A and B are shown apart, each in its own frame.
Chain A
């Protein structure tokens, strides 16, 4: 099977810069899904690899699930225009996020807060900024499928 190269999906990668709302989903061996809000995402070393940054406070169920079932899905939704992509793949490793990744999370939160301010006012933005970003886990995912999940006709269209 040819290796997927994320570079071929500029629209999906554009979302990495935010402002986005982002989640990571996992599922245990009993097929019970779990949810974690992610605070950052970047490409990994491999062409098909992404790294999703999940605050420790949210990460426990994910860390547990991937030991039983490596399948993960992460969805990024643009706060202003609802442009949405889902990356589905398998977990290739989890490690504490380093300083650069934590800084990325803070930048992303800053950016999404600005967008939130536009739609929910200063008060909303101030509350949004209260989201805990650190410490965090860096969840490495080898992406197998990408879906367009922007609301509308294309919703659910498989891009890979």
Chain B
């Protein structure tokens, strides 16, 4: 039997078919590779909200799995990008910025398209020759001759730019570009998540400086986001008021900036004491402090005495700067209080309300006319019981504005 004889046409068709099969196989193997890459990344990098850990994971992935030695992540800050992480660079370059639209990295951010740039050094020399100006140093390897920069985007939002680079002129090919294109979406999403989480944490931290955590816990709230108008809680608490005596004439001898710094210095000395004794600051009113002690009135008294003691140190310190010593007045009263959220619509505030607050404030005011700087009410003294560590001195009765009955007041000092 003779071999089957194929016409030229059929032969051509067969070879064309084979070519197509090869092409499909190649495409298939590419797809498989892509899936492998995507699987590797999702398990490695998506499982953390800690931005620093995430950066480390991404760099390790790029280095160990894809073999990129020099990498950088720059985050978008509006008109510029800032280096947030780098790998392989001697000088890490963290914090260095690139304006949007400048250089390979800035242009990639501006146009939102990947760019593979080779022969960087020759190109820079060429442009220098043409324009007669030096090219700007950008946060790259000093001798970077190849770069791929890819925009990190989540939908339309530019999160940042990922950069890989090399000292070699011909370091990257189309495959490298493809790998980075595949991974960039996931890297962008992971960074965006972690960055958003960090932002949230920072925000919560910032909020806690305005509305103390202790206040929220009185309201049985975890976060300020849970609070709403009319949230309130009632209970027996102690209020401490303190104020600087004759601060107005003193402040007139200072520039506004000096006065501001002085008050912040003073508050910086006093505020930690409140916390140290289990209280929290409800508000500052100029140089005055209004603090709440949800526990025993003894906490407030101990805090008040410590404040007086610290004032001595504060005065010694300011004396070296040529400032006169200051005196303070402190008033403490215990009673029923309502802590809650007040205000209207988009301007709310957490505060405490109650007759007790006014009384504490009046007591503090009364120290002006008395030879002591710390005045407490009878209620406080009763609550202290026979606390042996205090010398309690009855100072008679004082009139309290808006009250029919006079209030018995006491001076307190540590028993020496």
Contact = CB atoms under 8 A, between A and B. Distances in A.
A82 B126 contact: yes
Contact of B169 (A81, A82, A120, A151): A120
B111 to A, nearest CB: 24
B121 interface: yes
A152 B122 contact: no
Contacts, number: 16
B174 interface: no
Contacts of A119: 121-122, 125
A81 B129 CA distance: 7
A69 interface: no
Interface in B32-90: none
Contacts of B126: 82, 151
B130 interface: yes
Question: Which of B121, B129, B132 has the most chain A CB atoms inside 10 A of its CB?
Answer: B129
Contacts of B129: 81-82, 150-152
Interface string B114-134: 000000011001100111100
A151 B121 contact: no
A81 B130 CA distance: 10
Interface string B162-197: 000000010000000000000000000000000000
Nearest to B130: A152
A151 B122 contact: no
Interface in B375-401: none
Contacts of A120: 169
A151 B121 CA distance: 16
A10 B52 CA distance: 60
Contacts of B131: 152
A82 B121 CA distance: 13
A24 to B, nearest CB: 23
Contacts of A152: 129-132
A93 B126 CA distance: 36
Nearest to A124: B169
Nearest to A84: B129
Contacts of A151: 126, 129-130
A83 to B, nearest CB: 8
Interface string A118-160: 0110000000000000000000000000000011100000000
Nearest to B131: A152
B324 to A, nearest CB: 70
Contacts of A82: 125-126, 129
A120 B122 CA distance: 9
A148 B313 CA distance: 79
Contacts of A150: 129
A35 B131 CA distance: 29
A109 B104 CA distance: 34
Interface string A48-80: 000000000000000000000000000000000
A81 B126 CA distance: 8
Interface in A87-132: 119-120
A15 to B, nearest CB: 14
Interface string B130-163: 1110000000000000000000000000000000
Contacts of B169: 120
A117 to B, nearest CB: 13
Nearest to A150: B129
Nearest to A155: B130
A77 to B, nearest CB: 11
A110 B120 CA distance: 25
A47 B116 CA distance: 48
6 contacts: A81-B129, A151-B129, A152-B129, A152-B130, A152-B131, A152-B132
Interface of A: 81-82, 119-120, 150-152
Interface of B: 121-122, 125-126, 129-132, 169
Given A151-B129, A151-B130, A152-B132, 9 more contacts: A81-B129, A82-B126, A119-B121, A119-B125, A120-B169, A151-B126, A152-B129, A152-B130, A152-B131
Closest 3 A/B residue pairs (Cβ):
A152-B130, A82-B129, A151-B130
